Every structure is written in structure tokens, then in C-alpha cells.
Amino acid sequence: MGRPSTLLFVVLFYALETRADFIATTEETPLGNSTEWLADYTSIESKFSLRSPEVPDDDLCYLVPGQINTIEECNFKRTSKTFVVIHGWTVTGLYESWIAKLVTALFEREPSANVIVVDWLYRAQQHYPTSAAYTKLVGQDLAKFMNWIEVEGNYTLNNLHLLGYSLGAHVAGIAGSLTNNKVSRITGLDPAGPNFEYAEEKVRLSPDDANFVDVLHTYTRGSPDRSIGIQKPVGHVDIYPNGGSFQPGCDLHKAMLMIAANGFAEMDQIVKCSHERSIHLFIDSLLNEEKQSMAYRCNAKETFEKGLCLSCRKNRCNTLGYEINKVRSKRSSRMYLKTREVMPYKVFHYQLKVHFFSQENITFTDQPVQVSLYGTHDEAQNIALVLPKLSANKTFSFLVTTDINIGDLLMVKLMWEKDSYFSWTDWWKGYKFNIRKIRVKAGETQAKMTFSAKDGEMAALVRGGEFVDFVKSKEDQASKRHARRHGHRRSKNPWKSNSD
């Protein structure tokens, strides 16, 4: 894609002031209360391509509602699981490269499955508000298609999994709300935000559209309804990787490196990087079965950043992507996790809880620290963090992540860096905190551990100083051995103390 097309992508996506007028330009079929319209296939404009493992990137055979012979001609397997992939808005009117990648990954995970790609490219390449309004008609097309394969193809919708990206997620939701019987699952891959953030449930993805609806939110930056991805939860489980607003590897520095290497030809990939990350996270869950990413229920991303939500009790954690635990509740579950920049995206989450002792009444903000974790399998050194606040005689909790599987944690090292190379006060006064213990919780294993200062009762954490070491507390180890021996837990839970 050249520079003009790229600029068009950016400009059109945000040109939404006249969205109400554009919605009126698309003629909707009056549905009424009857379901007879589901059997009228004459108005269907969308196409339904049954892809093959051998040629995952091309439309070689179409399933045509009303033409029962196409089911046999395309070798549609009536007893197999079926995935339906629905693309979003497009500038070029062509399929994007992720479709073939997702189709390939689906076949690799489920070799006997049917994989159908919905082609609504003509309607999807209009001015954005027009394409957004067209999701209603495309949703009706898809509902008719699903009704057809259920009634005339003798196929159960309980084997159907819809995967919709951006506007395609709302197409899936509308279609799912219109069928006589519910489909098994809808996965919304960063559902589009503009025109849908405040829309009624019947015209967007919602939890009632399938037996189970899971959603990945990867580009929710900006004010509501101007955010490229929808911000509000719209499924049974809504997962916000890296807080949902922006994804690692999609920053300006990476963008400039890509432009330097490839010119403006791949500018569209920079614009779509965070939005499209939702697709690649799902692909990752299909291909890397041994490296499944874990998400944790939390009220807010700020709370998650403190490491306060790494619990798996009562379905508070779940697997991102294909192997998600299909938990339905009255209210949507907001879940968070951190990821790597590239596939495989899995990282390991740790909560570190530290009480900072000092005889001085000192407070610092935005302080750079480094953490090193040493385990039975490997070690993760010099993990850089910025702590929003450090205050004397208060307890703070913070989140540490690493993509290295270190095994069981044996030792923690902590270093407090200078926040400036030119700090006048450090020339005549050295600030420090004393630390007795570090309490650690591992999200992936749910293990809780206490680490004590290696040398002496307290370790001095000096700003601009060296690493200080903390090793597993002998008292903690003895207590755990006692608990295993006698089959009970400690009555006192240090994790319930207040933290700032």
C-alpha cells in the first residue's frame, strides 16, 4: 500500500462526524417478528468461501445459500467443527494478509475442520461510516447462511465458531442475534469502536449473540467512540492485553525503524499494528499450545499494574484465545495480562510486595528500579520498572513480568537506580530505604513465597547503589513443610494487608 492509500486509511477512520447520515444511506430489510426472511436467499450479497488446508489463501469454492449441491461440491463436512472468519473495514477492497495466516493456523490446530471466509469486501471498502452501517445487512446475510446450513445442510450451529475482526466482530454479533438457534461461540477480535461504543446491543456484538462470547481489546486508545477498538466490555469474557490501549512493538520508535527499512510501503501495518494484534494473539493461542497466555480478572488496569489481581480463585484467571475456559456470568469479566512484542506472546506474571522502612519522612515519584529473578530452571535479570511512588514506612505492590520460564523462584534481587544523571542532592546526601522482606506471588503457578534479606535482618536499598539480595525465608519454607505434613493452611494471610 502506497502513501496515498495509507493517508486515506488514517483520515477515513476518524472522519465520523456524519455517521448518522451515512447510516440512513444503507437500506435495511424490514425483518418484523417473523423468521421467514431467513429463508429468502435472493438478497444475499456476501459470499461464503470454504477454504482448504492446501490453498488457505484463495477462494476456490463457494457455499451458496439455496444451492444445496455446493455443500457436496465444496466438500463441506457436516460432522466437523466449523470456523467462520469475518474481515473488517478495508481501504483496498482486497483481503489482508492476516486472513490466510488465521486460516492456516485454524487448520493446523483442527485439521478436519471447515473454515469459511465471509467476503463482504465491496461493502467493507466504502467510507467508514457507510461500511459500519452495512454491518447490519452483512449480519443478515450471514444469519441466512447459517440458517441454510442448519436447515438444508442438516448442520448443528452448536459446532459453529464465528471469528470477527473489527467491523467483522459486529457482523458476527448481529448474525448471532438473528438465528433461530444460537451458535456455539463468537470471538470478537478488537471489535470496532467508532459508531458502536454507544450503540444498542442489537446492532453490535453483545453477550447474548452466542452461547459464549469472548473478546480481545487491543487498541482502545482515545476517547470513547473515537477509539479504533471498542472500549466497553461486550462479551462474557473481555480481555485487555497490556491494558488494551496500545501494544508493545507498535510504538513510534519501531514505526520509524520500519519506515527506514521498508519506506512508506508498510505504513498501513504501523497504523494497524495494535488493532491487528488481536488476531495474532489468537493465532498464537492456536499454534503455541505449550505457551498459553494467562489473563486475570481485575476492576481496572491501574490495579492490575500493581500486581493486585493475580488470583485464580473462583474463575478469576483464564486462558487467552482458543482454549479459553467458557465461563458465563451475569456481568462481563474484565481481564488483563502483559505480553511480549512478538509471537509467542506469553509472559510470566509476578506480584512483588515490599515495605520500605526509613527514619526519614521521604517520598519519591516515578522511580526507576531493576529486578532480577533467579529460579530452578533459569534466571531473568535486570527487568526494568518505574515505580509510580515510593514512600517511607509504607507497603507497595507492583507487577513484574518476564518471558523467561525460570521455574520455582529461589532468589530476588532489587536495585534502585538514579532518576537523573545529574542529581545535586545525591552528591551530598544518599537516600535509602531498608527492606526486611519481599512477598512474591506467581500468577501462573499461584505460588506464594516470602524472601528475606540475605545478609542480616534488613537490606539497605540505596538510590544509585548496587543490587540487594533476598532469599527464600527459612521460616516460610518450614511453615509450608508443616502445612503439607498436616494438611492445613496458615491461618494468617499476609497478602490481605493494606498497600498504598
User: Which residues fall in the annotated binding site for Ca(2+)?
Assistant: 201, 204, 209
Asked if 443 and 349 count as a contact pair (C-beta separation under 8 A), the reply is yes
Grouping H, G, I as helix, E, B as strand and the rest as coil, residue 153 is coil
Residue with cell 448481529: 174
Asked if 354 and 390 count as a contact pair (C-beta separation under 8 A), the reply is no
List of residues 6+ apart from 94 with CB closer than 8 A: 121
The residue type found at 55 is V
Neighbour-count burial of 394, counting CB atoms closer than 10 A to its CB (0-12 exposed, 13-18 middle, 19+ buried) = middle
Cell of 157: 450451529
Strand pairing category for 468-472 and 210-216: unpaired
Tell whether the torsion through CA atoms of 87, 92, 94 and 98 is positive or negative. Answer: negative
What is the secondary structure of 71-91 as a DSSP string? HHHTT--TTS-EEEEE----S
Alpha carbons within 13 A on the beta-carbon side of 85: 28
The Cα 33–Cα 396 span in angstroms is 57
Alpha carbons within 13 A on the beta-carbon side of 470: 27
Binding site feature residues: 201, 204, 209
The residue type found at 220 is T
List of residues 6+ apart from 293 with CB closer than 8 A: 241, 281, 284, 285, 319, 320, 321, 337, 339, 345, 346, 347
The Cα 270–Cα 438 span in angstroms is 40
DSSP structure class, residue 456: S
- Distance in Å from the first CA to the final CA of the chain: 49
Asked if 409 and 442 count as a contact pair (C-beta separation under 8 A), the reply is yes
Residue with cell 452495512: 134
Asked if 426 and 348 count as a contact pair (C-beta separation under 8 A), the reply is no
Q: Which residue, 217, 368, 223, 227, is CA-closest to 301?
A: 217
Which residues participate in catalysis according to the annotation?
Answer: 166, 190, 275
Q: Which residue, 141, 149, 123, is CA-closest to 66?
A: 149
Strand pairing category for 237-241 and 333-337: parallel
The Cα 332–Cα 8 span in angstroms is 35
